Amino acid sequence: MTTSMTAARQNDDRAVPTPPGGNERRNERRKKPSLIERVHDRMFDAIYSRALVYNTCWEDPAVDRIALDLHQNDTVLVITSAGCNALDYVLAGAGRVLAIDANPRQNALLELKLAGIRALEYEDFFALFGFGRHTEFEALYRSRLRPQLSPFARQFWDKHWHWFTHRGVGQTFYSHGLAGQVGRVVRGYSRLKPALAHAIADLLSARSLEAQRAIYDERAGPLMWNAGVKWTLDRQFTMSLLGVPHPQRAEVERQHAGGVAAFVRSAVDYVFRELPLARNYFWQLYMRGHYTRDCCPEYLKPHGFARLQSGLHERVELHTALLTEFLSECERPIDKFVLLDHMDWMAGYRPQALAEEWEWILQRAAPGARAIFRSAHTDPAYLDTTWVNHGGERRALRDWLALDPHTARELSRQDRVHTYAGFHIANALGAGRFAAA
């Protein structure tokens, strides 16, 4: 569930534009979080307001491509996260990709990738974002990349360029950022257990799904899961580092009797038993600490890089803002929305802001627009408890979304990340079952 939650931060001291027809909600009572929820929220804010959170996207764009059905004339809005999928949507044929994130560090990472696409040779680019390490990065950064960056991105990478130059065992760019630090701990833990390290190495080189399943069942799985791992996964601090705030954790616990640890184990079991690791660059990165040339995102492959460098990268447009802020000022119609899982957080702490956000989404949606989003729950409560004003009618969010649960379930089975209980596709935004009736 490591997605860019930062785009959902709706601070009370920031003015949020009033959505069309949204004035009557100003007087509604906001759900008051408990003391423990407030403590967790403050901890989450303290962690996220100072750090790069995601060094790679943790959503499968192969699934997104099918769900979105991208075309040359499509304008796509996506929460930036690490920017990998924004680049993938351009390669998939989108005419314009608007990458939005409230955390400027996430956009600084995508800026660095775009600068590298413009200025570097493929081998240098892959060393940076494939292997996560380049011994000459400082010189490349100072001479070719830094001049292209915005003031904030320049300031950020002036302090952090050394992330790409580590020489220690297992130390790469992908050891950094909050989620990267968790991955580094996981890899360090496996190295402390030689039998587990050997089992993981054999998993990564398995030639068939049957062989992979046998290695996991007989050697890796029994060593991966113990009381200490369960205790660590059940701690909110661990979940915060992974991008899972307390409300999202509560959604997991509401749906899974064994709590977060049991959900994580079931997700990992599925990945290692049902999905070929040879094609799963998400979990390969997590276990290796870097990509390989044979298993990496499309933007890191020679053909994808060449297409981006030939001019496709110009279709990506970055904005540092809350979604509501951006949509209130954006006058162009948007065809596709990629909302990740940020609504889980908003529904728990900012239900009014979530309703306002959707009013702007529906206002800016082009005819026939589509949205995809993920959740910790297969049927999140906010679909029925968030009331949205659109076209003069105030209805539950679900009523404005022509959901396609069948296609979503089928695609969810193919998802190589597989850490989201719910994947949702909403067609014809604003038409929904209410309008259809």
| 160 found inside a domain | no
277 and 328 both lie in a single domain: no
278 and 338 both lie in a single domain: no
| 92 found inside a domain | no
| 140 found inside a domain | no
At 57, list the tokens: 């996207």
Q: Does residue 248 contact residue 382 with C-beta atoms inside 8 Å?
A: no
266 and 316 both lie in a single domain: no
Kindly report the backbone phi and psi dihedral angles of residue 162, in degrees, each rounded to the nearest multiple of 5, phi listed first. -65, -15
Give dist(CA 235, CA 395) in Å, integer. 37
277 and 340 both lie in a single domain: no
Q: Which of 99-113, 159-173, 286-300 has the lowest mean pLDDT?
A: 159-173
- 225 against 199, higher pLDDT: 199
Give dist(CA 217, CA 13) in Å, integer. 51
243 and 338 both lie in a single domain: no
Q: Alpha carbon of 57 to those of 5, 60, 74, 266: distances in Å? A: 12, 8, 21, 21
202 and 253 both lie in a single domain: yes
| 158 found inside a domain | no
Q: What is the pLDDT of residues 304-340, one digit of tens each?
A: 999 999 999 999 999 999 999 999 999 899 999 999 9
pTM of the model: 0.87
Count CB neighbours of 48 within 10 A: 21
Give the highest mean pLDDT range of 25-39, 183-197, 217-231, 352-366.
352-366
At 252, list the tokens: 């997991």
| 165 found inside a domain | no
Question: Using 50, 70 and 90 to split pLDDT, how confident is the model at 431?
Answer: confident
Any idea how long the chain is? 437
Q: Which of 98-102, 187-191, 276-280, 333-337 has the lowest mean pLDDT?
A: 187-191
Give dist(CA 81, CA 380) in Å, integer. 22
Helix axes 246-255, 342-349, angle to 10 degrees: 100
335 and 428 both lie in a single domain: yes
Q: Does residue 309 contact residue 117 with C-beta atoms inside 8 Å?
A: yes
| 217 found inside a domain | yes
232 and 330 both lie in a single domain: no
Number of domains making up the chain: 2
273 and 196 both lie in a single domain: yes
282 and 319 both lie in a single domain: no
| 53 found inside a domain | yes
Which range marks the domain in which residue 248 is found? 189-286
381 and 270 both lie in a single domain: no
Give dist(CA 436, CA 359) in Å, integer. 18
| 141 found inside a domain | no
Q: Alpha carbon of 220 to those of 142, 282, 291, 358: distances in Å? A: 43, 18, 21, 44
